[in-house]
Amino acid sequence: MRDYLPIFIIPVLASCTTIQSAKSVEVSEVISADLARADGSWAGVATISQRSDGAFLSLTAEVPAAGTYGMHLHAVGKCEAPDFTSAGPHWNPNMKQHGRDNPMGAHDGDLPNVEAAADRKVTLEYKLADFMLSGPSGLLYADGGALVIHEKADDYKTDPSGNSGKRILCGVFKSGNRG
């Protein structure tokens, strides 16, 4: 039995070292947006967390039907029903064109499409590249920003909105929403 003891202990000790050295993530700021439908009913929540390992968008929402939906960050912190055009254009502080597949894009408001199964639920955790929350090119600069979900999938190339159709859900991010 003594001959087998070191063989058993070494893997156990190695796994303990791995657990102890796990990287801790510090959260410096969190903002959220309650998403609403055109009729004003609550449809979900979006959260942006500024962390030591980057900025992350988390989304939990309910859409009208199963399918693929375009989603973007918009430049104005307003969501007036029924069409949510008050949210303005996509957030684009660097004045690029739309879409990750557009040779002149992508702008900062471009986000991935989201999928809803038969239960109509959408969830997402997405790392935002080169994201600024505040300052002259930040999402919250001046009047805040909004998250908008569109009725159709984004084609990732057509400027200005990826042919994603009407705005069906909208939520406002403002500096006063810090969680």
Residue 179 in this model has a pLDDT that exceeds 60:
no
Listed in sequence order, the residues at least 6 apart from 158 whose beta carbon sits closer than 8 Å to its beta carbon are: 98, 99, 102
More confident site: 99 or 14:
99
Residue 99 half-sphere exposure toward CB, CA atoms < 13 A: 16
Q: What is the average pLDDT across 16-37?
A: 72
The DSSP bridge partners found for residue 172 are 146
Helix (H) or strand (E) segment spanning residue 20 = helix 5-20
- Which tens digits make up the pLDDT trace of 103-132? 777 888 889 999 999 999 999 999 998 788
- 171 touches 179 (CB < 8 A): no
β-sheet with 71-74: strand ranges across: 71-74, 145-150, 167-173, 27-37, 42-51, 54-62, 121-128
* Token pair belonging to 131: 């994201």
Give the percent of the chain with pLDDT over 90. Answer: 48
What is the rounded CA–CA span in Å between residue 109 and residue 130?
11
Q: What is the pLDDT of residues 151-163, one digit of tens each?
A: 999 988 877 777 8
CATH of domain 24-177: 2.60.40.200
The pLDDT score that the predictor gives to residue 23 is 59
pLDDT at 22: 45
- CA gap 176, 31 in Å, rounded: 8
The proportion of the chain whose per-residue pLDDT surpasses 70, expressed as a percent, equals 84
Which residue type, as a one-letter code, is found at position 135?
G
Cα dihedral 92, 171, 70, 46, rounded to 10, equals: 100
Contact (CB, 8 A) for 131 and 111: no
